[in-house]
Amino acid sequence: MGNRTFLSVSNAATDSIAYEHVAFETNNFLAPIWFCLVSQEQFQRYSDQVMQAWNNIQSFADHPNVEELPEWVAFSEAFQWQITWSDAAKQLCQNIPRTLAFFPSLADPVYEWLKTLSTHVERYSTPVIHLELSQYSSFYDDPVNYLRDIQTIVTLWQSPHRSHEKIWQEAAEDIYMLYGEQLPWVDQKVTDQEQVLEAQSVPPNPSVTRKSRPKGLEELYYWLLAILAAAVFFIVTYFTKSIWIGALAFVSPLIVIILINLPKRMKPASVLNKKDNIASFSNHVLNIEYFDGKSPIGAEGLAIDWLEGESISWKQILQVKELSSHEIEVVISAENEPITNKRIVLKLEEQLLARDIVLSIYAIRLVQKMAV
């Protein structure tokens, strides 16, 4: 099974978390995207908590039943990391724009992660984030190196730097390594109701309607078609004195039937191809590169004119779409103007892809919605 880690969301700061509250889990590794929820101050409190519990058990190191002592239980519980949603949302609003400005190709997995997280956060009025990392800590002989590795991941979000490119790229070799297994919340009652409505809206099975052809009638249809084709063959051969023209007349109806039914037979294949394309996302390898140019992704909004220092607040953005590989269109709410909405075309630097910037805006707008 391995040593698993869990990111859960509940409505209270408790050490007892049911599996239904788990939003993400990993096996034998730390998912770096989780730590965009963490501030340096929060990490320092967590670090002090773990080290204090560690120091408390040192005098019992040679105890034959050390794991049964209350000090050891307290040490194990010290790895439980709880963050109120107000603190986590504040970090999201800071860390997501800051990091995507320098690593825009992370927008795709970050947006996917946020969508799953939002399904859990929206369930509660006062959500609490739980990071369960105790199993993973067992990889280390002492918590010092464990905390040092977590500090490295926290720094990815607090202070993005060119040197982090290698760390991100290694994790992005497999999308699963960036955020782990996603477990979006699904309301079972709503799901059951949707299934009932879906069943009621499905038209009757064509095989049992009066317009459908019984199997015997379908066989008769093919026999009549064969007889008709044979008759056409003999008639055409008789009048044209050419067996080749007769053969062509024989197969022509069959070709027409095949062409009519071919699209119907191909439909299931197209559906499978669509599913395969969706499933292949988990195997997609991202190319993570550090961007040191003038990114339109700012802390408070979208920069549209670097020379004039003009920007649009994230809340003003109503819609954004990709026009070309290096050009996007943004629809904003025009403040203090007669026109309700305004469209702006933004040309990007060659190193930036329009898709990455569009997804970055999607991610930041979702963060803004979740933080309310």
pLDDT digits (tens, 9 = 90+) for 191-232: 444 343 344 433 343 333 333 344 455 556 566 766 777 777
Tracing tokens 């190319």 back to the chain, one arrives at 287
Could you tell me if residue 296 is inside a domain? no
Q: Is 308 helix (H, G, I), strand (E, B) or coil?
A: coil
Shared domain for 105 and 168, answered yes or no, is yes
Nearest one of 334, 354, 355, 353 to 344, comparing CA atoms: 334
Per DSSP, helices labelled H in 241-311 are 243-279
Residues present in the chain in total: 372
> What is the model's pLDDT at position 73?
87
φ, ψ (nearest 5 deg) of residue 30: -100, 130
pLDDT tens string 47-75? 999 999 999 988 887 788 878 888 888 88
Q: Is 307 helix (H, G, I), strand (E, B) or coil?
A: coil
Q: Which two tokens stand for residue 312?
A: 């649009």
Amino acid identity of residue 363, one-letter, is A
Shared domain for 74 and 97, answered yes or no, is yes
Shared domain for 52 and 139, answered yes or no, is yes
Could you tell me if residue 200 is inside a domain? no
Shared domain for 143 and 257, answered yes or no, is no
Tell me how far CA of residue 313 lies from CA of 100, 199, 246, 297, 310, in angstroms. Answer: 16, 45, 75, 11, 10
What is the distance in angstroms between the CA of the first residue and the CA of the last residue of the chain?
Answer: 38
Shared domain for 187 and 211, answered yes or no, is no
Q: Rounded CA gap, 92 and 157, in Å?
A: 10
**Total tally of structural domains belonging to the chain:** 3
> What is the model's pLDDT at position 243?
73
Shared domain for 85 and 188, answered yes or no, is yes
Could you tell me if residue 291 is inside a domain? no
Shared domain for 157 and 115, answered yes or no, is yes
Q: Which two tokens stand for residue 271?
A: 């559906």
Q: Rounded CA gap, 225 and 253, in Å?
A: 8
Shared domain for 17 and 160, answered yes or no, is yes
Shared domain for 9 and 153, answered yes or no, is yes
> What is the model's pLDDT at position 249?
66
Could you tell me if residue 199 is inside a domain? no
Shared domain for 24 and 130, answered yes or no, is yes
Q: Rounded CA gap, 125 and 368, in Å?
A: 16
Q: Rounded CA gap, 226 and 258, in Å?
A: 14
Q: Which two tokens stand for residue 186?
A: 């699904």
Shared domain for 209 and 184, answered yes or no, is no
Q: Rounded CA gap, 356 and 345, in Å?
A: 16
Could you tell me if residue 293 is inside a domain? no
> What is the model's pLDDT at position 307?
53
> What is the model's pLDDT at position 196?
38
- What pTM does this model have? 0.73
Q: Rounded CA gap, 123 and 120, in Å?
A: 6
Q: Which of 192, 220, 253 is the last residue of a domain?
A: 192
Which domain does 243 fall in, by range?
Answer: 205-283
Instruction: Name the stretches of the chain with pLDDT < 50.
Output: 188, 190-215, 262-283
Shared domain for 85 and 162, answered yes or no, is yes
